[in-house]
Amino acid sequence: MEFKLKPFKIQLTVSRIANIHYFEFTHNYNTKGDRHAFCELVYVDSGALHIRADNFCGALTENQMILHGANETHSLACPDDSAPNVIIIGFECESDALAPFSRRAVTLSEPLKRLLAEIIREGRAVFLPPYDKPNVTDMKKRENYPFGADQMIKLLLETFLIKLVCEESAAAPIYEEAPGGDALARGIVEYVRRNFTEKISLGELAFLFGTNRTTLCRTFRAATGQTLVEYVNGLKIREAKRLMRAGGMTFTEIAETLRFDSIHYFSRVFKKTENMTPSEYIRTVKSRLE
């Protein structure tokens, strides 16, 4: 008996990669018109950007992306009131299916955002830092990286692009949130993310979600891998970094805005999280962008 093997229909291939960046831009940061022979994905993780390109001119807000085509002239600018976190990935892919994404901003679904996060994680495993320095024309790879990590970047990026095309061509997204999961954990995490700048106590959360402190703590840690305090402090430090890059506020004012008990506690938490003081952080960001 002879089995008949069937070939795959390959509709999209990522052949080479130029860079994988995660930038923390300062307010008013901007670039001049750039042009290169590969595609460039620009995604706003937080904040906002203004994009000017051959096929698109307008704003990108949080969770939105644009995909510049090969040899398309493009630039970006940060508004006066925004210090955005931005992912930029340069890669080689010849597919007409990607053309529409250079003409309009696209808001990513949760599954696509998770895929993008996986690409960033694999990128850190393969490429050497810095990951946030503009105009790096030769991003170096590590001498030894985990088995298959380089290929995983290619596969994940192809999967991301294929799902992007499929979602946009469907009447509604076909890749929905997986069923099941812990509804209690999702509700708590969502509430914390919306209210992290306020005082949040275990007792209040237990009351709001109809549970007890022990169950709440166990559920929250299982869902996030962190305690409530660690998770809230992480959100606060991320927002503090954005406010510092945006300018216009002192460290004391930022600490007060984010409900830290004191500037000293804020500095201690910041250093524990970022391995540098707030002053060292903002100096580092500015020096890299310059």
Least confident of 15-24, 100-109, 182-191, 246-255: 182-191
Of residues 185 and 6, more confidence is placed in 6
**Residue type, position 118, single letter:** E
pLDDT confidence band for 12 (50 / 70 / 90): very high
Give the pLDDT mean for 258-281.
93
pTM of the model: 0.77
Do 82 and 3 meet the contact criterion of CB atoms below 8 Å apart?
no
pLDDT of residue 179: 35
189-224 per-position pLDDT tens digit: 888 988 898 888 888 888 788 889 899 999 999 888
* 208, two tokens: 């709001």
* 73, two tokens: 């002239």
What stretches of the chain adopt beta strand conformation (E)?
A: 14-24, 39-46, 48-53, 57-61, 64-68, 74-77, 85-93, 106-107
pLDDT of residue 206: 86
**Please, what are the domains in the chain?**
15-169 (2.60.120.280), 183-289 (1.10.10.60)
Least confident of 8-22, 57-71, 80-94, 188-202: 188-202
pLDDT of residue 170: 63
Do 76 and 44 meet the contact criterion of CB atoms below 8 Å apart?
no
| pLDDT, averaged across the chain | 90
105-133 per-position pLDDT tens digit: 999 988 899 899 999 999 999 999 989 98
Do 49 and 27 meet the contact criterion of CB atoms below 8 Å apart?
no
159-195 per-position pLDDT tens digit: 999 999 998 876 433 333 333 347 788 888 888 988 8
The 57-61 sheet, strands edge to edge:
57-61, 48-53, 74-77
Q: Residue 68, SS3?
A: strand
Give the pLDDT mean for 13-42.
95
* 280, two tokens: 């060292």
pLDDT of residue 190: 87
* 116, two tokens: 């993008």
**pLDDT at residue 230 above 90?**
yes
42-74 per-position pLDDT tens digit: 999 999 999 999 999 999 999 999 999 999 999
pLDDT of residue 35: 94
Of residues 193 and 15, more confidence is placed in 15
